[in-house]
Chains A and B, each alone.
Chain A
């Protein structure tokens, strides 16, 4: 009898072990996102017997190497990515394995970012967080300079005037820094009236685009923006301007909500805050975005991978992720109900509220931002704008030639 029980137990455990799957998850993090996902995964692992094998990598691995891995057939099962539309030919459609109706209700605004351009209703990924671009400000510098910060609704020109005074009073090298990518540039461009597309076809250089380009080049020429920023990069290279804000070179950094955790952890020698997105004649533009967790169609465990992602996307887990990483949730139900950010600092909590408000303003005043985020070739455009705007800043070409080149290069890069 005892032998029968032992044998039955052994068979049960064996079959459990035989059916248990191990999925590989390639994850990048800005602060602690992968660490939190690992904590969450242990609950799923315990309840299903499956294993999630985390490989935490730098962002450049996900950005540069993942697609080649996918083409070579050596991709992971699951990955956290940012090029949501660009990799859609590789995604596993989760719809057969999950409650599609619930997904549409909770993530309907972000699901289109993963889909192919037309006629695709698949469910491809869990939007881990909603990110929004927007400025961080060195409050201590403004106080030391005796300059009042512009109020909500102020324009980019108002902020530029304030930053000039801060720069002059404190003898700063420059006042404002922006990451070298069209992803950050787009928000202010939208504020100046840039539309970025016409009936879904990217047409970058309109009057709003030109107006902001002239302003942006002018800010560099007068020294309001640093030579270590956009002019210091060549070609389409991305440059993060965070070091300039961290070391006190600039009083304002145009970045995004993903930097909240990083700044909260690393800035200890001055006060800083997130300010409402500056506006302009075209509205109050900000770029939405964020990363998502997707499974790839090459996975040997589609049902397991889909079940894992479905687990992560549930309201409780999505809320836990948002609260513990200091990010804005993409779960529409939780956006209405609110997230308990008691685990994060007041600064981060206030910053999240400001960024969430920025996203709302952008949705209503500059909806082209949401189109641009969902455009599946936006990654090619992100590098083209800095390439030529930098040449205009350094005087290598005139602004007119640079703008003509931007349009020509975008047309060539998106052609097939």
Chain B
């Protein structure tokens, strides 16, 4: 209690001092309320006097830039530093500079430290390949389902608002909850196996998440289920932005539904569709939470990075450097995708 009173006194003292300084430094105003407001805002006035009004926006931006820099740019530079150094420690004064050795450790056939076979290369290539397969299959499937759902829910259907909420609901669930729900269904004694056995479709239960024949399918299914609603909503907004008089004119001309879709809806929706596609590509490359919580039978790129970084308490001398280098390769892929999105968006805007 004594400590909290002390804290309260400190805050009160600080605030009083702040107001006193403001009272002295703030400009002359008439009236008690204007004077108090001026005393509160004295840092703004003071900065304006020193640097002029043109610099004032940067003052407001500074806290955000500071936080952004601390949590985005600083980790980026640190990551780059980890990728070119070796050691178990996260402190750079305990790490040795190693240049591009970590890139060699994940790309070369021969392990550069032992001279033996490089299994890290195999693991990284497997993670790259499996993630590529996941992305190539998951993104088009999700976009198609999201587009189809958006088109249906853009019509006058009964309970339209309810159905929109139903499809959006999984987006609000945490990835761990999504994984837990689907594990109950997909584990060997789960609902799916039991139901199929009851229907005599299979004779023995299947471990859907781990069986090599099924693990990718269910990874794509669950991931699509969890994220489709978000992109459906964006496409729905895009559909609603298309002028309705175009559809009325097409109807008056007796144009078929199919032709309306291909000639009016799709071209006008294309800018948003492109943005949605690139966004979902970027998200799919970084897929991790649901897959990790589901404990699927393949390792994604981000899972590979997490394993090597020693986050699970298994630090090795080169692990952090290898993880950092792998993350830079992922970043390069994402930069290319982002530039593609930027180019396509600008091109569409010009058109």
Contacts and interface: CB of A to CB of B under 8 A. Distances in A.
Nearest to A59: B313
B311 A380 contact: no
B317 interface: yes
A232 B210 contact: yes
Contacts of A232: 207, 209-210, 295
Interface in A204-230: 226-228
Contact of A408 (B119, B299, B315): B119
A64 B120 CA distance: 22
Interface in B138-196: 187-189
Contacts of A234: 295-299, 303
Interface in A361-416: 377, 379-380, 382-383, 394-396, 404-405, 407-409, 411-416
A307 interface: no
Contacts of A379: 313-315
A84 to B, nearest CB: 13
B307 A235 contact: yes
Given A173-B188, A237-B295, A83 B313 contact: yes
A68 interface: yes
A108 interface: no
A415 B318 contact: yes
Contacts of A237: 295, 312
Contacts of A396: 212
Interface in B107-140: 111, 113-114, 116-120, 122
Q: List the 6 closest A-B pairs by CB distance, nearest first.
A: A63-B313, A415-B113, A227-B207, A64-B313, A416-B317, A411-B114
A54 B158 CA distance: 58
A110 B351 CA distance: 75
Contact of B118 (A64, A173, A408): A408
Interface of A: 60, 63-64, 67-68, 71-72, 83, 86, 173, 226-228, 231-239, 377, 379-380, 382-383, 394-396, 404-405, 407-409, 411-416
A236 B317 contact: no
Contacts, number: 99
Given A236-B314, A379-B313, A394-B212, A71 B295 contact: no
How many chain B residues sit at the interface, stated as a range, is 35 or more
Given A64-B311, A408-B117, 20 more contacts: A60-B313, A64-B313, A67-B310, A67-B315, A71-B89, A86-B315, A226-B188, A227-B188, A227-B207, A234-B303, A236-B312, A236-B314, A377-B316, A379-B315, A380-B316, A405-B117, A408-B119, A412-B105, A412-B113, A412-B318
B115 to A, nearest CB: 9
B90 interface: yes
B256 interface: no
B305 to A, nearest CB: 11
B244 interface: no
A61 B91 CA distance: 20
Interface of B: 89-91, 105, 111, 113-114, 116-120, 122, 187-189, 207, 209-210, 212, 295-299, 303-304, 307, 310-319
A303 B270 CA distance: 70
Contacts of A405: 117, 119, 122
30 contacts: A60-B313, A67-B310, A67-B315, A71-B89, A173-B188, A227-B188, A231-B210, A231-B297, A234-B295, A234-B303, A235-B299, A235-B303, A235-B304, A235-B307, A237-B312, A238-B312, A377-B316, A379-B314, A379-B315, A380-B315, A382-B314, A383-B314, A394-B212, A396-B212, A408-B118, A408-B119, A412-B116, A412-B118, A415-B114, A415-B317
Contacts of B111: 408, 411-412
B295 A233 contact: yes
B119 A409 contact: yes
A71 B297 contact: no
Contacts of A83: 313
Contacts of B318: 412, 415
B120 to A, nearest CB: 6
B185 to A, nearest CB: 15
A379 B120 CA distance: 18
B188 A228 contact: yes
A292 to B, nearest CB: 16
Contacts of B120: 409, 412
Contacts of A231: 207, 210, 297
Contacts of B314: 236, 379-380, 382-383
A404 B118 CA distance: 11
A232 B215 CA distance: 11
Nearest to A61: B313
Contacts of B304: 235
A382 to B, nearest CB: 7
B315 A411 contact: no
Contact of A394 (B105, B122, B297): B297
A412 B119 contact: yes
Contacts of A383: 312, 314
A64 B315 CA distance: 9
Nearest to B317: A416
Contacts of B188: 173, 226-228
B299 A71 contact: no
B114 A236 contact: no
B139 to A, nearest CB: 22
A196 to B, nearest CB: 17
Contacts of A228: 187-188, 207
A380 B189 CA distance: 32
A173 B212 CA distance: 20
A404 B295 contact: no
